[in-house]
Amino acid sequence: MKFNNRNVWIDPSAKIAEGVRIGDNTVIYANVEIGDGTVIANDCVIGEPQSDYYEGEHYNNPETSIGSGSLIRSHAIVYAGVSLGSGFSCGHRVTIREGVSTGKSCRVGTLCDLQGNLTMGDYVWLHSNVHLGQGSLIEDFVFIYPYVVLTNDPLPPSDQLRGVTV
């Protein structure tokens, strides 16, 4: 593994496979695994600690995995506890919260916000500026157009949160 970049910090526990490229000003936290041939662009955060990190001294970062052949564009934040399938790609300034799991060959457009604890099947494409609420299930071969918002509160404000299934 050879990097010629500036200001990159990689936790010693991270597992970086062959042919991975990591851009300038990127942080990779503990318990992250990045598959072969993946590109992490400039200014990304991979394995961002969950909220417990800020509240207790005994926090352990959950495992985060990015499948082989993936592309994470600049300014993306991928929280700890995320599993991205092989061939995943995202646009710029994407937020992927804890508990997100994707199948293979998924695309998430620029400025998308995946609010955690949701599942996307294989070949799911989210265009730019899509917001998915917690608990959503997006099955295989779904394309979601720009500016779509899927919430998880059917009658706000309520305590009966449930995600959308598409």
Q: What is the pLDDT of residues 36-75, one digit of tens each?
A: 999 999 999 999 999 888 887 889 999 999 999 999 999 9
Joined tokens for residue 78:
């991928």
Q: Give the predicted TM-score (pTM) of the model.
A: 0.93
Contact between 59 and 30 under an 8 Å Cβ cutoff? The reply is no
Nearest residue to 126 (alpha-carbon basis) of 101, 91, 152, 153: 91
* 51 phi, psi to nearest 5 deg: -60, -30
How high does pLDDT run on average in the chain?
A: 94
Q: How many residues does the chain have?
A: 166
Which pLDDT tens digits describe the chain residue by residue (166 residues)? Answer: 445 668 999 999 999 999 999 999 999 999 999 999 999 999 999 999 998 888 878 899 999 999 999 999 999 999 999 999 999 999 999 999 999 999 999 999 999 999 999 999 999 999 999 999 999 999 999 999 999 999 988 777 888 888 899 9
